[in-house]
Amino acid sequence: MDDCIFCKIISGEIPSKKLYEDDEILAFHDVSPQAPVHFLLIPKKHIRNIMELGKDDVALTGRMINKAQELAVGQGCGEKGARFVINCKSDGGQTVNHLHIHVLGGRPLDWPPG
């Protein structure tokens, strides 16, 4: 999608610190990290948010979660864990309208969110 910053990261128009890439998924470090480990996983297909997922996306989202787990372990979060977050629309605090999973770790995180 033309005005989507994450689509521009996928195309290479905007640079990113990539962690992982395949035909369907891209993972990169968040530009404004909120924890020692903070990266994002996105589908290359432009899906605006989790409410717009269809039944055809089940395999894709399953792969994203498996990859999030694998990368979190690779970033040193295997023992103490991490937080896997999907913000959705305005009440969910979503600011980039391209589905993404945040993975945050490397320090204890508060709950509940403010």
Question: Which residues are the active-site residues?
Answer: 100
CB of 108 to ligand AMP, least distance (A): 19
Find all residues with CB under 8 Å of 57, minimum gap 6, and list them.
43, 45, 47
Least Å from the CB of residue 16 to ligand AMP: 5
Stretch of 24-32, 59-67, 70-78, 103-111 contacting ligand AMP, by CB under 6 A: 24-32
State which of residues 2, 95, 112, 114 lies at the interface with ligand AMP (CB under 6 A).
95
Nearest residue to 64 via CA among 37, 94, 87, 42: 42
Site string for ligand AMP, 48-87 (x = CB under 6 A): ---------------------------------------x
Q: Which of 1, 11, 21, 31 binds ligand AMP (CB under 6 A)?
A: 31
Residues binding ligand AMP (CB under 6 A): 5, 14, 16, 28, 30-32, 87, 93-96
